């Protein structure tokens, strides 16, 4: 695999849990994709000249080790599979001690910036990708989220009819977007994170004791389209599965004007002891209350 990113964790990269926020993992993953594209022969300047954008279509992250402020890390990536229009890559975000902090499997595409339509990868890039072939290891495989996306686009009206709870509501800001106004994948994750407190507040029995937070073990994202600057968006979320130690939460990000789903996501979340820095089991009475609010059958 090729090294495609070197950086470190800043205090402002972290959330109230004291570790790097999941939106920053997505940001670093996609920054690494841009460097990988360059190393395979497709430069940022060439994409700009041709009016193209590198976009994730499907992205799966597993979190293995938290990163605290000051920690250095690197990202290493290789190619797993390819077709004329889609390139699947595997990446590991590693600490300075070479421990794997997160794994990322991304299905990416080239999009025409003006229309958002997908276009073919250059043949020379796909040929170069053959030289960095790799496999996705067992520890990076999907476990608690849907393993294969159905790419079913639920509408906002359908989400409301199912009783999905409100999360983020507001416009797409300039800082959420690339230089031509397309919303970045990490900003989609950011808007879900910004609305999660509203979601858990709305859940009956969802309040956690003092000293207990929530930590994501795994995220799966499917991107259907890319909102633009000033578009109004809304996130609707639901508890979609509940296990003794984990909960699965499904999120949909909607264009508020059209009601169309722009992105869908599933996460596996645990209760997290902020002092011991480890996952803990939620009390039986809390799990019993939450079980009554599970909405099954949600797709990505």
CATH code of 85's domain:
3.10.129.10
Q: Is the pLDDT of residue 16 over 80?
A: no
Of 141, 171, 197, the last residue of a domain is 141
The pLDDT, as a whole number, for residue 56 is 94
Of 112, 141, 170, the last residue of a domain is 141
Q: Are residues 94 and 25 in the same domain?
A: yes
Q: Are residues 153 and 127 in the same domain?
A: no
Q: Are residues 293 and 172 in the same domain?
A: yes
Q: Are residues 46 and 176 in the same domain?
A: no
Q: Are residues 160 and 299 in the same domain?
A: yes
Classify each residue of 100-112 as buried b or exposed e, where b means 16 or more C-beta atoms within 10 Å of its C-beta: bbbbbbbbbbbbe
Range of the domain at 81: 1-141
Q: Are residues 294 and 169 in the same domain?
A: yes
Q: Are residues 167 and 179 in the same domain?
A: yes
Q: Answer whether 10's CB lies under 8 Å from 84's CB.
A: no
Q: Are residues 33 and 65 in the same domain?
A: yes
Question: What pTM was estimated for this model as a whole?
Answer: 0.91
Q: Are residues 22 and 35 in the same domain?
A: yes
**Using CB atoms within 10 A of its CB, is residue 9 exposed (0-12), middle (13-18) or buried (19+)?**
buried
The pLDDT, as a whole number, for residue 281 is 81
Q: Are residues 115 and 207 in the same domain?
A: no
Q: Are residues 229 and 270 in the same domain?
A: yes
The pLDDT, as a whole number, for residue 206 is 57
Q: Summarize pLDDT for 218-276 with one digit per residue, the tens.
A: 999 999 998 999 999 999 999 999 988 889 999 999 999 999 999 999 999 887 777 77
Q: Summarize pLDDT for 157-202 with one digit per residue, the tens.
A: 999 999 999 999 999 999 999 887 889 999 999 999 999 889 988 8
Mean residue pLDDT of the chain comes to 91
Q: Which residues pair with 228 in a beta bridge?
A: 182
Of 111, 141, 171, the last residue of a domain is 141
Q: Are residues 119 and 147 in the same domain?
A: no
Q: How many domains does the chain fold into?
A: 2
């Amino acid at each position: 695999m090729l090294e495609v990113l070197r950086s470190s964790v800043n205090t402002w990269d972290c959330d109230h849990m004291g570790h790097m926020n999941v939106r920053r993992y997505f940001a670093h993953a996609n920054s690494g994709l841009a460097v990988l594209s360059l190393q395979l022969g497709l430069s940022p300047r060439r994409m700009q000249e041709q009016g193209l954008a590198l976009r994730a279509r499907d992205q799966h992250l597993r979190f293995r080790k938290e990163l605290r402020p000051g920690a250095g890390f690197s990202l290493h990536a290789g190619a797993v599979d390819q077709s004329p229009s889609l390139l699947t890559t595997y990446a590991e975000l590693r600490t300075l001690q070479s421990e794997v902090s997160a794994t990322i499997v991304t299905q990416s595409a080239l999009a025409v910036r003006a229309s958002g339509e997908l276009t073919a990868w250059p043949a020379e890039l796909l040929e170069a990708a053959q030289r960095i072939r790799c496999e996705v290891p067992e520890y990076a495989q999907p476990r608690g989220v849907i393993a294969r996306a159905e790419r079913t686009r639920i509408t906002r009206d359908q989400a409301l009819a199912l009783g999905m709870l409100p999360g983020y509501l507001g416009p797409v800001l300039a800082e959420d977007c690339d230089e031509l106004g397309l919303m970045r994948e990490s900003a989609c994750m950011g808007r879900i994170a910004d609305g999660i407190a509203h979601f858990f507040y709305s859940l009956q029995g969802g309040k956690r004791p003092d000293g207990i937070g929530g930590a994501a073990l795994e995220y799966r994202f499917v991107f259907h389209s890319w909102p633009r600057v000033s578009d109004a968006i809304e996130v609707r979320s639901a508890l979609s599965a509940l296990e003794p130690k984990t909960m699965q939460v499904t999120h949909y990000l909607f264009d508020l004007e059209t009601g169309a789903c722009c992105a869908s996501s599933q996460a596996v979340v645990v209760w997290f002891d902020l002092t011991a820095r480890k996952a803990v089991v939620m009390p039986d009475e809390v799990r019993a209350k939450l079980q009554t609010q599970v909405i099954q059958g949600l797709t990505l």
